[in-house]
Amino acid sequence: MISVYHYMILSAILFAIGSFGVLTRKNMIVIFMCIELMLNSVNLTFIALSRHLGNMDGQIFVFFVMTVAAAEAAVGLALIIAFYRNKESIEVDDFRLLKW
Amino acid sequence: MLENYLPVLVLIGIAVAFAVGSVVMSGLIGMKKPSAVKLAPYECGMPLVGSARERFSVKFYIIAMLFILFDIEAVFLYPWAVMFKRLGMFGFVEMGVFIAILLVGFIYVWKKGALEWE
Amino acid sequence: MEAMLFYLVALVSVISAFFVTKCRNPINSALCLVTTFLCLAVFYVMLQAPFMAAIQIMVYAGAIMVLIIFVIMLLNIGSVGKSRYTHGVAGAIVLSFLSFIVAAKFIAGGTVSKAVGDISAEVVQSYGHTELIGKAMFTEFLLPFEIASILLLVAIVGAVILSKRKV
**Looking at residues B84-93, what average pLDDT do you find?**
88
Instruction: Flag whether pLDDT at B92 surpasses 60.
Output: yes
**Nearest C-alpha in A relative to B76:** A63
For domain C1-77, which architecture applies?
A: Up-down Bundle (1.20)
On whether any CB of chain A is under 8 Å from the CB of B83, the answer is no
Neighbours of C88 (CB within 10 A): 11
A18: pLDDT strictly greater than 90: yes
**What digits encode the pLDDT tens for the residues B25-81?**
988 888 888 887 777 776 676 766 666 666 667 777 888 888 888 888 889 999 999
Can you give the pLDDT at residue C117?
75
Interface probe with B: pick from C44, C70, C124, most Cβ of B within 10 Å: C70
- Predicted confidence at residue B36, as pLDDT, reads 77
Contacts of B12 (CB under 8 A, 6+ apart): none
**Does A67 lie at the interface with B, CB-CB under 8 angstroms?**
yes
Whether residue C78 contacts residue B106, with contact meaning beta carbons closer than 8 Å, is answered with: no
Task: With beta carbons under 8 A apart, name residues in chain C contacting B104.
Answer: 153
Q: Is the pTM of this model over 0.90?
A: no
Chain A residues closer than 8 Å to C74 by CB: 81
Look at residue C167 in the predicted model and tell me its pLDDT: 43
Domain ranges of chain C: 1-77, 120-167
List of domains in chain A: 4-91 (1.10.287.3510)
Q: Which residues contact A31 (CB under 8 A, 6 or more apart)?
A: A21, A22, A25, A92
Asked if B65 and C163 count as a contact pair (C-beta separation under 8 A), the reply is yes
Q: Which residues contact C34 (CB under 8 A, 6 or more apart)?
A: C61, C65
Q: What residue type is B99 in one-letter code? A: I
Chain A nearest C-alpha distance from C32 (Å): 10
CB-based contact C43:B26 (threshold 8 Å): no
Contact C113 A53 (CB under 8 A): yes
Q: Give this complex's ipTM.
A: 0.91
Which pLDDT score, from 0 to 100, does residue C24 have?
A: 85
- B83 vs C125, C138, C165: nearest CB: C138
Of the candidates B10, A14, B22, A27, which has an alpha carbon nearest to the alpha carbon of residue C35? A14
**What residues of chain C score a pLDDT lower than 70?**
77-84, 165-167
Q: Is pLDDT larger for residue A100 or for residue C10?
A: C10
- Residues B88 and B71: their CA atoms lie apart, in Å, by 24
Contact of B44 with chain A, judged by CB distance below 8 Å, is answered with no
Name the average pLDDT for chain B. Answer: 84
Chain B contact present for C147, CB below 8 A? no
How much is the pLDDT for C111?
A: 75
